């Protein structure tokens, strides 16, 4: 709960419900559970995953609908292939740096938007202990990815 200025009454205030949890990365960073570097790596991974789910475009130019629809479909296919290649590269890098289990946790949380509780249930670790376990592994995985990204050399760099 919070209080904000009333737009209809300059001297009044309104009691409102405040949504302070924008997303998992914001929440983790706001509570100092991950470093800035881990937050940034998480943002990059999240952007790559979200790009694959993004919009395909529209016919804003007008003109011949049949040609535009065909061209739009071809562009959508090309962009889909490019997005899939980026995701495959990211997942391959994460699995190399973290191992399959932690890479899957990161992908489920950032790519699929699952909560820690949902991921814990998927891996058979129900309840608060399972949720805390997944949260800790997620945080540790982001820190490990941040360290790997900061390392020098072609073998250690993120895609």
Place of tokens 């495959």: 88
Count of CB atoms situated within 10 Å of the CB of 16: 10
Query: Does residue 32 fall inside a structural domain?
Result: yes
Q: How many structural domains is the chain composed of? A: 1
Query: Does residue 65 fall inside a structural domain?
Result: no
Tens of pLDDT, residue by residue over 97-126, are 999 999 999 999 999 999 999 999 998 988
Phi, psi of 15, rounded to the nearest 5 degrees: -90, 125
Query: Does residue 158 fall inside a structural domain?
Result: no
- SS3 state of residue 61: coil
Containing domain of residue 107, as a range? Answer: 22-55+82-150
Count of CB atoms situated within 10 Å of the CB of 86: 16
Query: Does residue 94 fall inside a structural domain?
Result: yes
Length of the chain: 159
Distances in Å between the Cα of 108 and the Cα atoms of 29, 76, 119, 157 are: 19, 25, 7, 22
Query: Does residue 37 fall inside a structural domain?
Result: yes
Tens of pLDDT, residue by residue over 36-62, are 999 999 999 998 888 766 554 444 454
Query: Does residue 111 fall inside a structural domain?
Result: yes
Closest CA to 117 of 108, 104, 130: 130
Query: Does residue 15 fall inside a structural domain?
Result: no
% of residues, the chain, pLDDT over 90: 43
Query: Does residue 76 fall inside a structural domain?
Result: no
Is 80 within 8 Å of 87 (Cβ atoms)?
no
Is 40 within 8 Å of 146 (Cβ atoms)?
yes
Name which residue leads in pLDDT, 9 or 144.
144
pTM: 0.70
């Amino acid at each position: 709960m919070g209080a904000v200025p009333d737009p209809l009454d300059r001297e009044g205030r309104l009691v409102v419900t405040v949504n302070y949890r924008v997303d998992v990365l914001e929440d983790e960073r706001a509570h100092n559970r991950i470093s800035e570097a881990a937050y940034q790596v998480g943002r990059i991974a999240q952007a790559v995953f979200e790009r694959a789910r993004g919009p395909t475009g529209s016919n804003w130019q007008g003109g011949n609908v049949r040609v535009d629809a065909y061209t739009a479909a071809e562009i959508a296919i090309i962009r889909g292939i490019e997005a899939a290649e980026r995701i495959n590269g990211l997942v391959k890098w994460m699995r190399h740096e973290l191992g399959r289990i932690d890479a899957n946790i990161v992908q489920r949380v950032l790519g699929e938007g699952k909560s820690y509780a949902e991921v814990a249930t998927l891996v058979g670790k129900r309840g608060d202990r399972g949720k805390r376990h997944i949260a800790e592994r997620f945080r540790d995985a982001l820190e490990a990815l941040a360290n790997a990204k900061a390392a020098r050399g072609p073998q250690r760099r993120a895609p």
